[in-house]
Amino acid sequence: MTTPAIEIRDLSKSFRAHAGWGQLFRPGRQQPALAGITMTVPAGQIFGLLGPNGAGKTTLIKVLAGLILPDGGQASINGKDVVSESLAVRQSIGVVYGDERSFYWRLSLLENLRFYASLYRLPASLAQARIADLLARLDLQSVARVRMHALSSGMKQRAAIARGLIHDPPVLFLDEPTRALDPVATHELHRLVRERVADQGRTVLIATNTMREAEELCDRVTLINHGANIFTGSIAQLRERTHDAIVYRLVIGGGQDGWPRGLRAIAGIQGVSVDSVDSVGEAVRQLEVTMDPKASALPIMMRYLVEQGAEIQTCTRQARTLDEIFRELVQESGREVLQVAR
Ligand SMILES: Nc1ncnc2c1ncn2[C@@H]1O[C@H](COP(=O)(O)OP(=O)(O)OP(=O)(O)O)[C@@H](O)[C@H]1O
Ligand SMILES: [Mg+2]
């Protein structure tokens, strides 16, 4: 069996909460930022770490990168333990943050990349070839000699990715890489990550709080909230997991009195809301009908409406957006821990 790129078992980390200025010398309570995360990231995937603000995404990346020590559990990168083999782990990872501030702003991009290559002690000829390759990969050749402070946010972010790849690590962490970017720069960055960063078997772990980013980029995601993972799978599985109700929207004209009551009585129909809309002088009603997906109530509903003399003008199934699913799962996990699909 091949070694997974990232293996995490029951990882936990607490921070001491600030007790307030009034209690300067009293230690605050320990607050868990990671509360038993378990997950496996196979090599070569773009894997999403999806969660709302404060879920523990950055903390998890910092533990994996050896920047902070966990309190309990284990994590390894390509089979190497992030605590006891942290030097080897650092050689095999690159980390890129969304609010990139650690460049030397008065130096050009090229000078910055040369400096970071020297920190990894790359031989000069290798560094030169690597930098040329990265500038080409990330479409940065035209700005190589421009000082960092003059680059747009989109270019700075691509530059940060180039820097994260300077030692050619097999695993790259991107912490909310499009946080400061407009939709055009975001789209461009996604394309580059898919086509030019996650290639040659490289594994990319991307922390994000937007479902759209996860959907555009990720093969699989793990959804975390309050430091615990509440779902792991593909975005398609995430959609399925939460298909608890189907909603149809209909526009109908006419119909005998009392049909909404009859509709509510059909087995499998969980809710009916009716709005009157006046369309070119004709009384038309807009319905929203919620159904249990396990009961096949649609044909029964249609037959009933026709029998009642209603003229069905349109009937459309409402797909819930991924953001709605995300919000729902996060709210649910605030109350109880969901069954984790591993
Ligand atoms: N150095 C620290 N000291 C104290 N608490 C911390 C520290 N770092 C993180 N935390 C707390 O740990 C929890 C998780 O924070 P983390 O930054 O990992 O979340 P996140 O998912 O990255 O959120 P965001 O989307 O806002 O970046 C939060 O409650 C945060 O306040
Ligand atoms: Mg974060």
* pLDDT, tens only, 110-162: 999 999 999 999 999 999 999 999 999 999 999 999 999 999 999 999 999 99
Answer whether residue 49 is part of any domain.
yes
pLDDT for 93 equals: 97
DSSP class of residue 177 equals T
* pLDDT, tens only, 184-222: 999 999 999 999 999 888 999 999 988 889 989 999 999
Question: Do residues 37 and 177 both lie within one domain?
Answer: yes
Max avg pLDDT among 172-176, 315-319, 332-336: 172-176
* pLDDT, tens only, 9-59: 999 999 987 666 666 666 677 889 999 999 999 999 999 999 989 999 999
Question: Do residues 175 and 312 both lie within one domain?
Answer: no
Distance CA 317, CA 10 (A): 40
Determine what percent of the chain is predicted with pLDDT higher than 70: 90
Answer whether residue 209 is part of any domain.
yes
Q: Which of 241, 257, 274 is the last residue of a domain?
A: 241
Q: What is the mean pLDDT of residues 161-172?
A: 96
Q: Ligand 2: distance of its center to the CA of 288 in Å?
A: 38
Question: Do residues 224 and 251 both lie within one domain?
Answer: no
pLDDT-derived band at 342, boundaries 50, 70, 90:
very low
C-alpha distance across the termini of the chain, in Å = 18
Q: Ligand 1: distance of its center to the CA of 52 in Å?
A: 11
Task: Tell whether the model's pLDDT for residue 337 goes beyond 50.
Answer: no
pLDDT for 188 equals: 93
Distance CA 223, CA 48 (A): 8
**Angle in degrees, 0-180, between the axes of helices 183-192 and 153-164, rounded to the nearest 10:** 20
* Structural domains counted in the chain: 2
Distance CA 217, CA 219 (A): 7
pLDDT for 27 equals: 66
Task: Tell whether the model's pLDDT for residue 105 goes beyond 50.
Answer: yes
Distance CA 94, CA 168 (A): 8
Question: Do residues 84 and 200 both lie within one domain?
Answer: yes
Q: Which residue lies with its CA nearest to atom 3 of ligand 1?
A: 15
pLDDT for 13 equals: 96
Range of the domain at 305: 246-318
> Is the distance from CB of 46 to CB of 194 less than 8 angstroms?
yes
Q: What CATH number does the domain containing 37 carry?
A: 3.40.50.300
- Per-residue burial over 32-65, b if 16 or more Cβ lie within 10 Å, else e, is bbbbbbbbebeebbbbbbbbbeebbbbbbbbbbb
> Is the distance from CB of 46 to CB of 107 less than 8 angstroms?
no
Question: Do residues 85 and 186 both lie within one domain?
Answer: yes
Question: Do residues 199 and 305 both lie within one domain?
Answer: no
Question: Do residues 88 and 27 both lie within one domain?
Answer: yes
Question: Which residues have CB under 6 Å of ligand 1?
Answer: 15, 33, 51, 53-59, 209
Question: Do residues 73 and 87 both lie within one domain?
Answer: yes
| Residues near 41 by beta carbon (within 8 Å), at least 6 away in sequence | 4, 5, 6, 7, 47, 203, 205, 220
Determine what percent of the chain is predicted with pLDDT higher than 90: 65
Mean pLDDT, the chain, integer: 88
Question: Do residues 88 and 173 both lie within one domain?
Answer: yes
Answer whether residue 218 is part of any domain.
yes
Answer whether residue 150 is part of any domain.
no
Q: What CATH number does the domain containing 290 carry?
A: 3.30.70.60
Question: Do residues 52 and 184 both lie within one domain?
Answer: yes
pLDDT for 158 equals: 95
Answer whether residue 18 is part of any domain.
yes
Angstrom CA distances, 270 to 91, 228, 246, 312, stand at 56, 32, 10, 20
pLDDT for 336 equals: 43
Q: Which of 221, 241, 261 is the last residue of a domain?
A: 241
Question: Do residues 73 and 207 both lie within one domain?
Answer: yes
pLDDT for 142 equals: 97
Q: Ligand 2: distance of its center to the CA of 211 in Å?
A: 15
pLDDT-derived band at 62, boundaries 50, 70, 90:
very high
Q: Which of 209, 226, 241 is the last residue of a domain?
A: 241
Q: Ligand 2: distance of its center to the CA of 43 in Å?
A: 23
Task: From 30, 57, 223, give the residue whose CB has the most ligand 1 atoms within 8 Å, as the site to mutate.
Answer: 57
Answer whether residue 39 is part of any domain.
yes
Q: Which atom of ligand 1 is nearest to the CA of 61?
A: 18
Question: Do residues 278 and 312 both lie within one domain?
Answer: yes
